[in-house]
Structure 1
Amino acid sequence: MKTHLKYIGKNVSLQALKDVVTEKGLNTTHKLLLNPQDYNTVILEQANLFEEVQQIPLTVNGIVIEKDDDKEIPYGTVGIT
């Protein structure tokens, strides 16, 4: 499946990811891929917000968020599959 890129900016956050899901009309057949640095930022934000780390896989509005271990997704960008 081809990955489409959506530039977010320097602050990839849970809210930014929710906005992407809504804007693009994504459903559970899609996945969000994040640069490892952005992925870690989102996990820390989620842990601080809910005072616990969500079980893997991490999701937002039912959409799975995965870390791009191949580092093909640039920092500040979300890959959508």
Structure 2
Amino acid sequence: MPRDLPNWTYDRRRELGDRIRDLRLHANLTQEVLAEMTGIDRRTVQRIERGTSDPPYSSLLLIADVIGVPLSDLVG
């Protein structure tokens, strides 16, 4: 991942991760269950929720579908 990204991009990734975690918990899903249902590795789910990973669009679509929310609820 490039190191020359503006600082605000890291802040936004953390916000996205927090939102995903909150919605996942609201749906009563563990990270392990979310990973299993989306086909995304559990460690990747952890990194997305911590804001240390840049999830691809397709992963965000899968996460939103499994959690049962529109994609716009994830990305704000």
Q: TM-score, normalised by structure 1?
A: 0.32
* Structure with higher RCO (Cα < 8 A, 6+ apart): 1
Q: TM-score, normalised by structure 2?
A: 0.34
* Structure with the higher fraction of residues in helix conformation: 2
